[in-house]
């Protein structure tokens, strides 16, 4: 009975069954070594991409490679139509492709030791609607984000929660760094990881790996032809804890019977009764050719459809999710481009993210040039920071050798591969736009993101809201994300960003706030909160009872349907809901905090939402707000933001196209549009302007606006000034000429 034998090679309890051989647990290191050796030798380790030296053969043609291939299971056994085990991407794809190198790519490497954290991106937001939790997590080091390891969230739980949006590998493959090794900068190798994986199973939930299997990097998630891969089937499999079966489910190679989620915690995977409960695959015999191979319909460059599975977004206004037809999508896509035209990668799968300065981490000049010309500036205008590699060999001088030069290069001086215009990109003139704007604003500030309407609006993303899954969404689902927020990034430029305020239950010990493991919080708060579906709907804005409605609307109007209410009535009901919600929120949250303090034996339990910290008042029964300054880590409750790049709008829809006053006047989007904290809790911080978010004083903005208010008049003044000076100059020239003529006449 081979269920997930490859896993059992790594997670033995008493003994290990591996390819019909049984190893006692004490031989585990040997098993690990053997397995790693297999991965390294059979799969091969190649990081330099040197095809000639690599054991991986290549087609080296632009043509599409036909993949009629044999499938192999996790035990490296060939799969036939009669097999019952799921196919393993590692054993199947890894035979010909450098899985080890690929596994260090951006989509898989978040936790690996020595990995560059890169520019901050969208965090994983652990959302639990019944407890009002929206907690931004990341294995990468970024301000305001919580590391799951610090909160006690096991890799298995992260995989179960977010696996539907992880292409596999890394944390989802249970490759966990040992404590203290996260930042040691040492080169990772599979052996270390796998040893650590075994060491990391002290968490009871981590025992589930033995049953669920791991999420190996599923190449077909990105490389399947459009409409071939069933992402929802894969997500369903992951929801059912059938991790190892998800790749098979996604390709619909057969039907999968059985759910690991139905097997109790603590079950012995070696127990035959338990093994009998593990899922079984019934392969679709029609997928197998007479020679036993299966046609894998795949493409080299991932299609937009694959990217959209995890990188879609929708805007939300006061009426709910905005209709798709009123939006134009990204201008590049509308022009016929693909995501992968700019977001490219080599075999290392370090996909170009396309922000300025990204290439700094690479030493290879050709890589730097290629990456620099894939940024907005590099592609449309030319590389921003000029290095020797960007200068044509005939123009390079000793002054160019060394650090990056802040020099202007003409098109002739620029080396051809560094020039703008890649893929036929138009070169914008930015006529009349003072160059200082390029020092203060990222391209995306004017060209990307949802068009602001005076205040940041709601956003939904695939990562956070599971877009792509068939559900009934109102747009008010947690987590509440807003955009665009025009904040400063590390380079001092203004970027449009998305933002979320952490909402979670936590404990304060010695002034330090720490969230409670979000995977435990429902069980901990269930009895006191008594929320069945939604924290917001049931506690913060509860439905009014018929009696309460009668009090608010009167006998006659209380029976009419909600959509028939007048605006005044709706306002009255909302106000009554708010009052009822505040009472209920205070009552339930206070009771829950008491319960948490008792259960966890914590000095102080708190609930955090929208930048507010709620704690028990001195009476021990009611709530009071705690000042964030009382915390040592007040950033734990602050807004978390990350830059957004898409959708890029066409030039005509950019900010500032209407002239200087579009931004330098009262009420402008980039200075005076506002944002307000949002979250499951009942309170919101007062609205603040984008200028305040960036720390710019209102007086300074006002001064600039007033200066620009008189700009038109100033232009006339300058024109008049130029006219007078020109006339003066003409008179001077005339006088000079006259004097010269007179002098000449006098001489003659």
Partner 1 sequence: MIKLAERICLLGLVASVAVLTLTALPVLWGSHLMGNTLLVHMMASGVLVFVLPALAVLWLMRTFCIGEAVGSASQLENIGFWATVVTGLLAIVTVFVCMLPVASTESMHLLVSIHAYAGFAMVPAVLLFIFGAIRLRRTKSMRSTTPG
Q: Which residues of the shown chain bind partner 1 in the complex (CB under 8 A)?
A: 381, 406, 408, 428-436, 438-440, 659, 700, 703-704, 707, 711, 714-715, 717-722, 724-726, 728-729, 731-732, 735
Quick one: 19 or 700, whose CB is closer to partner 1? Answer: 700
Quick one: 268 or 384, whose CB is closer to partner 1? Answer: 384
Indicate the burial class of 373 (C-beta count within 10 angstroms; 0-12, 13-18, 19 or more).
buried
CB of 405 vs partner 1, minimal distance in Å: 11
Residue 25: both structure tokens together: 């647990």
Note the Cα 150 to chain centre separation in Å: 20
CB of 733 vs partner 1, minimal distance in Å: 9
Residue 34: both structure tokens together: 């053997």
Compute the CA torsion angle 34, 37, 39, 42 (nearest 10 deg). -110
CB of 438 vs partner 1, minimal distance in Å: 7
CA distances from 2 to 76, 94, 95, 304 (A): 11, 21, 21, 37
Q: How far apart are the C-alpha atoms of 292 and 81, rounded to whole Å? A: 8
Name the nearest CA neighbour of 87 among 349, 294, 258, 235.
294
Residue 76: both structure tokens together: 């490296």
Quick one: 127 or 705, whose CB is closer to partner 1? Answer: 705
3-state SS of 47-105 is CCCCCCCCCCCCCCCCCCCCEEECCEECCCCECCCCCCCCECHHHHHCCCCCHHHHCCC
Residue 189 and residue 47 in contact, taking contact as beta carbons nearer than 8 Å: no
Name residues whose C-beta falls within 8 Å of residue 180's C-beta, 6 or more positions apart in sequence.
none
Range list of H helices, 148-277: 148-151, 155-162, 190-199, 209-212, 219-223, 231-239, 246-250, 272-277
Q: How far apart are the C-alpha atoms of 726 and 534, rounded to whole Å? A: 74
CB of 359 vs partner 1, minimal distance in Å: 22
CB of 431 vs partner 1, minimal distance in Å: 5
CB of 341 vs partner 1, minimal distance in Å: 24
Q: How far apart are the C-alpha atoms of 506 and 428, rounded to whole Å? A: 50
Quick one: 300 or 440, whose CB is closer to partner 1? Answer: 440
Quick one: 511 or 732, whose CB is closer to partner 1? Answer: 732
Q: State the sign of the Cα–Cα–Cα–Cα dihedral 601, 607, 611, 616.
A: negative
Quick one: 216 or 705, whose CB is closer to partner 1? Answer: 705
CB of 335 vs partner 1, minimal distance in Å: 22
CB of 703 vs partner 1, minimal distance in Å: 6
CB of 108 vs partner 1, minimal distance in Å: 39
Residues in the chain: 748
DSSP string computed for 319-379: TEEPPGGG----HHHHTT--HHHHS---TT-------TTGGGG---HHHHHHHHTTSHHHH
Quick one: 59 or 657, whose CB is closer to partner 1? Answer: 657
Quick one: 289 or 728, whose CB is closer to partner 1? Answer: 728
Coil vs helix vs strand at 120: coil
Name the nearest CA neighbour of 208 among 386, 7, 387.
7
Q: How far apart are the C-alpha atoms of 675 and 684, rounded to whole Å? A: 10
Quick one: 363 or 406, whose CB is closer to partner 1? Answer: 406
Quick one: 261 or 728, whose CB is closer to partner 1? Answer: 728
Range list of H helices, 530-638: 535, 546-553, 567-600
Quick one: 431 or 747, whose CB is closer to partner 1? Answer: 431
Quick one: 451 or 725, whose CB is closer to partner 1? Answer: 725
CB of 652 vs partner 1, minimal distance in Å: 14
CB of 722 vs partner 1, minimal distance in Å: 6
Q: How far apart are the C-alpha atoms of 112 and 123, rounded to whole Å? A: 17
CB of 321 vs partner 1, minimal distance in Å: 38
Quick one: 88 or 668, whose CB is closer to partner 1? Answer: 668
Q: How far apart are the C-alpha atoms of 708 and 715, rounded to whole Å? A: 11
Q: How far apart are the C-alpha atoms of 473 and 464, rounded to whole Å? A: 13
Quick one: 31 or 381, whose CB is closer to partner 1? Answer: 381
CB of 583 vs partner 1, minimal distance in Å: 49
CB of 444 vs partner 1, minimal distance in Å: 17
> Under the phi-then-psi rule, with left for phi > 0, alpha for psi from -120 to 50, and beta for the rest, what region is 326?
alpha
Name residues whose C-beta falls within 8 Å of residue 659's C-beta, 6 or more positions apart in sequence.
none
Q: How far apart are the C-alpha atoms of 72 and 87, rounded to whole Å? A: 5
CB of 387 vs partner 1, minimal distance in Å: 17
CB of 706 vs partner 1, minimal distance in Å: 11
Quick one: 38 or 704, whose CB is closer to partner 1? Answer: 704
The widest CA-to-CA distance across the chain, in whole angstroms, is: 126
Quick one: 429 or 471, whose CB is closer to partner 1? Answer: 429
């Amino acid at each position: 009975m081979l269920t997930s034998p490859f896993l059992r090679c790594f997670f033995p309890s008493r003994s290990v069954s591996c390819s019909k051989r049984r190893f006692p647990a004490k031989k585990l290191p040997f098993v690990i070594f053997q397995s790693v050796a297999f991965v390294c030798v059979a799969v091969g380790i190649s990081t330099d991409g040197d095809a000639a030296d690599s054991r991986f053969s290549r087609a080296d043609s632009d043509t599409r490679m036909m993949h009629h291939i044999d499938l192999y299971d996790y035990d490296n056994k060939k799969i036939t139509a009669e097999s019952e085990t799921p196919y393993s991407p590692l054993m199947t794809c890894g035979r010909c492709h450098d899985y080890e190198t690929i596994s260090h790519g951006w989509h898989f490497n978040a936790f690996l030791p020595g990995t560059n954290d890169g520019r901050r991106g969208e965090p994983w937001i652990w959302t639990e609607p019944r407890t009002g939790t929206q907690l931004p997590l990341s294995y990468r080091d970024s301000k305001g984000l919580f590391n799951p390891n610090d909160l006690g969230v096991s890799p298995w739980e992260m995989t179960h929660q977010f696996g539907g949006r992880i292409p596999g590998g890394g944390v989802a493959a249970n490759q966990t760094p040992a404590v203290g090794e996260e930042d040691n900068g040492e080169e990772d190798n599979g052996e270390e990881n796998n040893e650590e994986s075994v060491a990391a199973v002290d968490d009871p939930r981590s025992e589930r790996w033995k049953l669920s299997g791991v999420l190996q990097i599923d190449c077909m998630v990105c490389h399947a032809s459009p409409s071939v891969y069933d992402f929802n089937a894969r997500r369903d499999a992951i929801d059912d804890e059938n991790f190892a079966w998800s790749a098979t489910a996604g390709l619909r190679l057969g039907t999968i019977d059985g759910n690991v989620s139905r097997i109790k915690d603590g079950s012995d995977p070696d127990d035959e009764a338990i093994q009998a409960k593990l899922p079984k695959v019934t392969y679709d015999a029609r997928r197998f050719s007479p020679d036993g191979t299966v046609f894998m319909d795949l493409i080299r460059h991932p299609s937009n459809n694959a990217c959209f599975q995890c990188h879609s977004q929708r805007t939300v206004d006061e009426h709910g999710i905005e209709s798709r037809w009123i939006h134009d999508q990204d201008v590049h896509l509308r022009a016929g481009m693909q995501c992968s035209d700019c977001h490219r990668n080599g075999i290392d799968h370090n996909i170009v993210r396309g922000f300025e300065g990204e290439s700094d981490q690479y030493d290879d000049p050709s890589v730097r040039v290629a990456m620099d010309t894939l940024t907005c500036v590099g592609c449309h205008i030319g590389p921003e920071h000029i290095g020797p590699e960007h200068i044509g060999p005939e123009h390079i001088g000793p002054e160019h050798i060394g650090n990056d030069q802040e020099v202007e290069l003409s098109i002739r001086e620029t080396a051809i591969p560094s020039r703008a215009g890649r893929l036929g990109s138009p070169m914008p003139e930015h006529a009349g736009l003072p160059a200082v704007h390029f020092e203060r604003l990222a391209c995306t500030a004017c060209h990307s993101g949802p068009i602001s309407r005076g205040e940041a609006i709601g956003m939904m993303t695939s990562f956070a809201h599971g877009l792509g899954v068939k559900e009934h969404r109102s747009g008010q689902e947690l987590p509440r994300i807003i955009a665009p927020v025009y904040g400063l990034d590390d380079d001092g430029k203004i970027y449009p960003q998305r933002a979320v305020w952490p909402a979670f239950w936590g404990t304060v010990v010695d002034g330090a706030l720490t969230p409670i493991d979000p995977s435990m919080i429902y069980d901990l708060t269930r009895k006191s909160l008594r929320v069945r579906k939604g924290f917001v709907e049931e506690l913060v804005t509860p439905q009014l009872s018929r009696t309460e409605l009668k009090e608010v609307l009167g006998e006659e109007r209380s029976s009419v349907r909600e959509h028939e209410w007048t605006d005044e009535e709706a306002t009255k009901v909302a106000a009554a809901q708010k009052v009822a919600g505040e009472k209920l929120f205070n009552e339930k949250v206070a009771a829950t905090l008491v319960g948490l303090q008792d259960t966890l034996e914590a000095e102080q339990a708190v609930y955090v939402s929208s930048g507010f910290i709620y704690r028990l008042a001195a009476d021990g029964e009611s709530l009071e707000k705690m000042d964030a300054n009382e915390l040592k880590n007040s950033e734990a409750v602050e807004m978390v933001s990350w830059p957004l790049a898409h959708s890029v709008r066409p030039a005509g829809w950019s900010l500032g196209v209407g002239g200087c006053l579009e931004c330098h006047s009262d009420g402008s989007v980039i200075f005076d549009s506002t944002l307000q904290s949002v979250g499951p809790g009942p309170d919101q911080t007062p609205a603040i302007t984008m200028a305040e978010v960036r720390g710019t004083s209102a007086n300074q903005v006002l001064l600039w606006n007033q200066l620009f208010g008189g700009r038109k008049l100033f232009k006339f003044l300058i024109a008049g000034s130029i006219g007078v000076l020109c006339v003066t100059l003409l008179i001077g020239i005339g006088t000079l000429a006259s004097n010269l003529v007179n002098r000449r006449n006098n001489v003659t």
